[in-house]
Structures are given as C-alpha cells and as structure tokens.
Amino acid sequence: MIEVNELTKRYGRTTAVHNLTFTVRPGHVTGFLGPNGAGKSTTLRLILGLNDPTSGTATVDRRPLRDRSRGLRHVGALLDASDVHGGRSGRAHLRALARSNAIPRGRVEEVLREVGLAGAAGRRIGGYSLGMKQRLGIATALLGDPPVLFFDEPLNGLDPEGVLWVRGLFRRLAAEGRTVFVSSHLMSEMENTADQLIVIGRGELIAAESVTEFAARATRQSVTVRTSEPATLAGVLTAAGAAVQPGEGGALTVTGLDANRIGELALEHQLLLQELTASTASLEEAFMELTADSVEYLAGDAGDAGDAGDSGEHR
Ligand SMILES: Nc1ncnc2c1ncn2[C@@H]1O[C@H](COP(=O)(O)OP(=O)(O)OP(=O)(O)O)[C@@H](O)[C@H]1O
C-alpha cells in the first residue's frame, strides 16, 4: 500500500506538488492521471525517495523509501525507460541489477521471456527501439518480484499489441495482490488500463475513486430534442428542472433530464417530437474539462517555471 499524506514539493517559486493526500491499495491497477506538468513524476520521485519533500510524508507499506535500502525485491519502478547504459546488452543490464539486489540469475531469463525480449537480450540497448526499452524497463521493475510496482507512462512507444500485453500484465500483477501504480497524461490510456484513479492537476488532488465512479461523476449526459413548438417545450422542460439551451436548426440541448422523461413530458403536453437523441461526453472530454485550469495555468506560466530554476536535484 502507498500512503501519501499532505505532500508538498516546491522548486524555487514553482510548486510542483501541493498538499497531496491519497492512498493506493494492493489488488488494483491504480491510474495516476494529470495533464503534462501536473506533478505526477515529482510525486513518484518523492514516494520512491529519490527526492525529499518540502513537507508531508509518503510511505510504501508504512515505511518511507528514503533510504532506498529495500531494493528491487520490495519495490519495482519504471521511471525513464531511456535512462539506461546504451553500451550494455539487455541481459547484462538485468544481470548487473540482479547481482546488486541478491536476485538469482535465473530470474533474469524469466523476466526477459515475460516481456518478450528473450530474442533481443544479447543486443546492445543503444540499438533498441523505444518500445523495446519500455519492455526492458518493465523487466527491471519485475526483476525482484516485488509487491509494489510503479510505472511512469509505460505505454509510451508501445505498438497496439504491446499496449494490450501491458494491460494484461498489470491486471495479472494486481490479481496477484500487488500494488500497481501507473501514471499517464492520457485518460484514453487509463480508461482501459486502470480500475482505480488518482487524478491531479496543478499539483493538487482532483479525484481519488474508481474509474466507474469518476466516469459517472465526470461525464454529463445531454439530450438533443427537436419539436415544431420549441418555446413551449423549453418552458415545460425548464419547469421540470432541466437546463435548456438553443441548439442548431431550432433543436434544443437539454441537461438535467434523461431522454425517457423528456419523451413523457412531451406526451403529457401533446407536443410532437421530431428528434430525441441522448449523448454522453467521453471520459477523455470530461478529464480535459476537469483539468483545464491546470493546463491553462501552465501555458501562461511557462516562463515563470523556467525562471524558478532547478534546485540541483537530478530528474
Ligand atoms: N527539478 C525541477 N526543478 C524545477 N522545476 C521542476 C523540477 N521538476 C519538476 N518541476 C516542475 O514541477 C511541475 C511538475 O512537473 P512534473 O514533471 O512532476 O509533472 P508531470 O505531471 O510528471 O508532467 P509530464 O506528464 O509532462 O511528465 C512542472 O511545472 C515542472 O516544470
């Protein structure tokens, strides 16, 4: 289990993460979502103990990871897939990590097979495609068979078959009772990958709930309705509690009442309907809307973030 409590991280004048509190439970694939610059990578680095928070705490299975003494057998992480020594082979890279974490050599061959790199394991990593590097990064995370796994943008560079494979892998790891925490800036990727969501924007928590709950809360249904007497129908629907907007070509766009109820009201008032169409905003649209403020803030603040400078910590 990952527990983040009132976590804040400032870089100069830039607040990357502000007063963030959430819990990630084992047995689920939990998506960590937010637009670019929302603070996802910073949060992951704070949880992993790679950077120190300005204030607040982050623990994994009730202990901070700051000392990093627990190694790959406790926590596996894919952070930056291209951050590997290009001159080594994939197999040599994994063997070196296995050695320093007291993991048996045989496990290297197992994870290579698992991620589909057995055939390319003898080749230099420098010659790997981005997708192959992602697979190697996933193999690294799996190497110690850890109960807690972090994946930062794991679908980057993967082809459709690779994406399906990763989704199946994450589901299996969660079903085995592990904690699986996966970040992405794309709702469309998380919709089919995660069952729980932590959504942040501008370093702050926007939602912590299941994908189903988020979808029910975030997506809005509207109904397009067309009639020969739009003003009368608009009056009837407004009186029944709906919000009515004039749409294209005399149509009305109605929110707050479902299509069935609109049909019943039209019948009660003997109004002839020429169209009655329900439409639901996609989860991607809902996510964009919910996080729109943070995107605007960053677009207007880009120069400022640059001025703030680096605190000297390596990203
Ligand atoms: N070392 C640093 N020095 C200065 N500012 C930083 C540093 N690391 C992150 N930031 C700033 O903190 C904010 C959050 O960045 P972060 O990389 O955590 O976001 P993110 O959600 O992971 O974005 P992306 O999806 O683009 O990776 C940004 O404004 C970023 O510029």
**Strand ranges inside the chain, DSSP E:** 2-11, 14-24, 29-33, 55-60, 75-78, 148-152, 179-184, 196-201, 204-210, 221-227, 243-246, 252-255, 273-280
pLDDT number for residue 248: 78
- 43 pLDDT higher than 50: yes
Which residue's alpha carbon is at the smallest distance from atom 4 of ligand 1? 310
For residues 29-41, give the mean pLDDT.
93
Indicate if ligand 1 lies below 6 Å from the C-beta of 40: yes
Q: Is the CB of 304 under 6 A from ligand 1?
A: no
Does the pLDDT at position 310 exceed 50?
A: no
What is the DSSP secondary structure assignment for residue 89, as one 8-state letter?
A: B
Residue 37 alpha carbon to ligand 1 centre in Å: 5
Other Cβ atoms within 10 Å of 256 Cβ, number:
16
**CB–CB of 46/313 below 8 Å?**
no
Predicted confidence at residue 157, as pLDDT, reads 85
User: What are the C-alpha distances in Å from 27 to residues 138, 143, 170, 235?
Assistant: 19, 19, 10, 50
Q: Which atom of ligand 1 is nearest to the CA of 185?
A: 25
Tell me the pLDDT band of 300, cut-offs 50, 70 and 90: very low
- Segment 234-249, tens digit of pLDDT: 999 999 999 998 877 7
pLDDT digits (tens, 9 = 90+) for 177-192: 999 999 998 888 888 8
Hey, whose CA ends up nearest to atom 13 of ligand 1? Answer: 16
Whether residue 131 has pLDDT greater than 60: yes
Q: How confident is the model at residue 293 (pLDDT cuts 50, 70, 90)?
A: low
Q: How far apart are the CA of 38 and the centre of ligand 1, in A? A: 7
Q: Which domains does the chain have, with CATH numbers?
A: 2-215 (3.40.50.300), 218-292 (3.30.70)
Q: Is 171 helix (H, G, I), strand (E, B) or coil?
A: helix
Sign of the alpha-carbon torsion through 312, 125, 150, 199: positive
Q: Is the CB of 79 under 6 A from ligand 1?
A: no
What pTM did the predictor assign? 0.79
Mean pLDDT of 127-134: 92
Query: Ligand 1, from 7, 10, 14, 153: best to mutate by most atoms within 8 Å of Cβ?
Result: 14
Give the Å distances, CA to CA, from 257 to 193, 242, 272, 294: 32, 6, 18, 31
Q: Which residue is closest in CA terms to ligand 1's atom 2? A: 310
- 100 alpha carbon – ligand 1 mean position (Å): 30
Q: Report the sign of the C-alpha dihedral through residues 13, 16, 22, 24, in that order.
A: negative
217 has pLDDT over 70: yes
**CB of 186 closer than 6 angstroms to any ligand 1 atom:** no
CA–centroid distance, 59 to ligand 1, in Å, is 21
Atom of ligand 1 minimally distant from the CA of 314: 1
For the ranges 16-30, 156-170, 202-216, the maximum mean pLDDT occurs at 16-30
Q: How confident is the prediction for the chain on average, in pLDDT? A: 87
Model confidence at 294, pLDDT cuts 50, 70, 90, reads low
The pLDDT of 61-71, averaged and rounded, is 72
**Is the pLDDT assigned to residue 11 strictly greater than 80?**
yes
Residue 216, pLDDT score: 76
Q: Is 41 in the pocket of ligand 1 (CB under 6 A)?
A: yes
Q: Is the dihedral of CA 187, 188, 192, 193 positive or negative?
A: negative
